[in-house]
Structure 1
Amino acid sequence: MKNEKGFTLIEMLIVLMIISTLLLITIPHISTNNSVVQNKGCEAFIKLVETQAHTYEMDKGEFPESINVLMSDGYLESETCPNGDELIMEANGLVKRKSEE
């Protein structure tokens, strides 16, 4: 009697072909959505900075002059969005991207 355990070469090639096809289909979709993900991340970071500005205002009685003040006082760890966009804080604690000026 033959011991027929394992996969044949043809079966392995078919599995590799199916996996390769799935990768070819999914990789272009991931790269096209990358900019959308980065923009959503920046929008979330802007909301975080605005929240930290209000927290600073509650603690100190006034809004911070800039994002650098929030960083130096330990309210933030970064002054830019995850995608590298620089942010500007207005006098009322609202934050926007520098490119939106």
Structure 2
Amino acid sequence: MLVVMLVVSILLLITIPNVTKHNQSIQKKGCEGLKNMIQAQITAYQMDHDGKTPSLSELESEGYVKKNVRCPNGKAIVISNGKVQSD
């Protein structure tokens, strides 16, 4: 029983630092993917509305994106001159 607990403890000591180390990378990639998706929705909006560049609130009200969309790391999404950025 003690040997099993020792092995489990060692495995936990190895895996926990690796998971936390990759957490920031995962959040960054998730934010980049979200920004790319919103950029595609801007293009779709422009095609539907004769080239008009929308604000984030217009995209939300028209149903192109969910309301209060944020990056996985908590940063807000901002549209500036037709380009998507995060604060």
Q: Give the deviation of 1:81 after TM superposition.
A: 1.1
Structure 1 vs Structure 2: percent identity of aligned residues? 39
Question: Is 1:79 equivalent to 2:69 in the alignment?
Answer: yes
State TM-score, norm by structure 2.
Answer: 0.87
Between 78-87 and 47-56, the greater mean CA deviation after superposition: 78-87
1:94 pairs, out of 66, 83, 87, with 83
Aligned-partner Cα distance in 1 for 2:71–2:57: 14
TM-score, normalisation: structure 1: 0.76
Larger Cα Rg: Structure 1 or Structure 2?
1
SS at structure 1 position matched to 2:64: coil
Greater relative contact order, per chain length (Cα 8 Å cut-off, separation 6+): 2
**Secondary structure at 1:33's aligned position in 2?**
helix
Deviation beyond 2 Å, 4+ runs, structure 1: none
**What SS does structure 2 have at the residue aligned with 1:96?**
strand
Instruction: Give the Cα–Cα distance (whole angstroms) in 2 for the partners of residues 15 and 49 of structure 1.
Output: 48
**Amino acid across the alignment from 2:4:** V
Match of 1:21 in 2: 10
SS in 2 for 1:32: helix
Q: 1:54 maps to which residue?
A: 43
Unaligned runs of 5+ in 2: none
